Structure 1
Amino acid sequence: MEESSFERSKEEIIKALVAQLISIYDNVLQEYVEAEINRRNGFRNYLNFLKIYKKIEIFCNIYKIRLKGQTIKNQTNTKIVDYSEQKIKLTTLTITLRAAKRIDRLLSLSNKNFLIVDIFPNLDVAFFKSSSINVAAYECWLKIIETGEIISEEQGYEIYQQKKKEENSLRENILKQVYESAGYESVGYESAEYYYIDEESPRYYPDNDNPDNEESPRYHPDNEESILPMDES
């Protein structure tokens, strides 16, 4: 009789412990699901960040007057840092854009199908933010994913340069559409170089304009009082 009572008590204790185990397991499972949702949303948020950044870049590129030596890239970055009241710092912006562009390149292999990142639970945005992966090495990695082919770092860098040219060409076409939709067809879009966006260089302007003429697009004011109102940030 005592042994039977002990057996019943033992079973009840085991059941109670299993119930606690199930509760903990449910929490673990819930945390995993939430982490997975956050991981997938991370990729989408970074791409949305890049899309909005490019829109800001377009508006900055439309400026016909900018400070001497100022590039489209650093003007865009300055606007973001200033208007975010330093919530987005330049270093953070640089790292975020690096990751976003790398994610965008990966998704381009699947025609923007997020399944290519969703199916790998160990792949997250931290990988794409890494500064230890240079542009050539990243292109080599993409080539392996796309074709299974291993290429040299030199070949990877050539692919990167080609993709950069294609991106600049796409930006040029987008900017042209912006000008046309705003009714500025008469401005003339004869020279692709005029609107060519190079993130690392000051904006190019045709040589037949007088840089000392304030009405010339090559004119750069030497002080902030001469720049456009929106540049007074």
Structure 2
Amino acid sequence: MREALATLTPAERRVAELILSRPHAAMSWSITEMSKFAEASDPSVIRLCRRMGSNGFPALKLELARALARAQQAPRPHPPTTGGDPVAEMMADVLQRSEEALRNAHDDMQPAAVAAAAEAIVKARRIEIYGLGASGFLAQEAQYRMAALGLPAVAYCDPVVQNTTAPLLGKDDVVLALSFSGLTQYLVETVGLARNSGARILSISPAGSPIATAADTNIALNAYRKSDNFLASPTARLALHMILDVLSMAIVERLAGR
């Protein structure tokens, strides 16, 4: 939510800032109280909830409670840094951060979003997967997984190619946009072109980001929040890998039921 502040309307930003400043109190408020305290309207609160990937204010409060519970969990102690093997310490640190990234990815994922994405992919005439930079490698991984299942998927990791193919899509086609930040301007523009052409837009990106907001269905990927450099972070890529694993399993289940 903090990362999405710059993309919100003034009223939505007031609601978000109030939640961030008083998270425990916000969990006890009704939507009417929230809109009153934030000097906003009920629809502004609801729009913020949807930007964050929640169906309504009660669902957002549930996600807030989960986030607070995770924050209160005592972190696993790091191994001693004096007199120890530095490589062993690095191994333990990477393991700890990887476990945390996977746990956060699990908690952030909404089953309904995964199910909706899998259903759309299975029914699609054509699936185009877009990613740039670090997410581009995983776009190719997603293409391989879907092609292995017999699905008509192709990955494009070049913005020029993406902008060329997106306008050619139609209502029976699906775009899956992958983004660690949800802010990449090239990808935002490409998603807009695909939407204008009638394609269904799926995304794996941070809740409330411009790409998530533009998508019909977004699977929340918030791994960047625990990393100082999410684009280079192996744990962020690990979180996206886990989401692709879950999505692939959901696709297999639907193909088996045909």
Q: Work out whether the TM-score is over 0.5.
A: no
Q: TM-score, normalised by structure 1?
A: 0.29
Q: TM-score, normalised by structure 2?
A: 0.27
When you count helix as a share of all residues, which structure comes out higher? 1
Larger Rg: 1
Higher relative contact order (CA 8 A, sep 6+): 1
When you count strand as a share of all residues, which structure comes out higher? 2
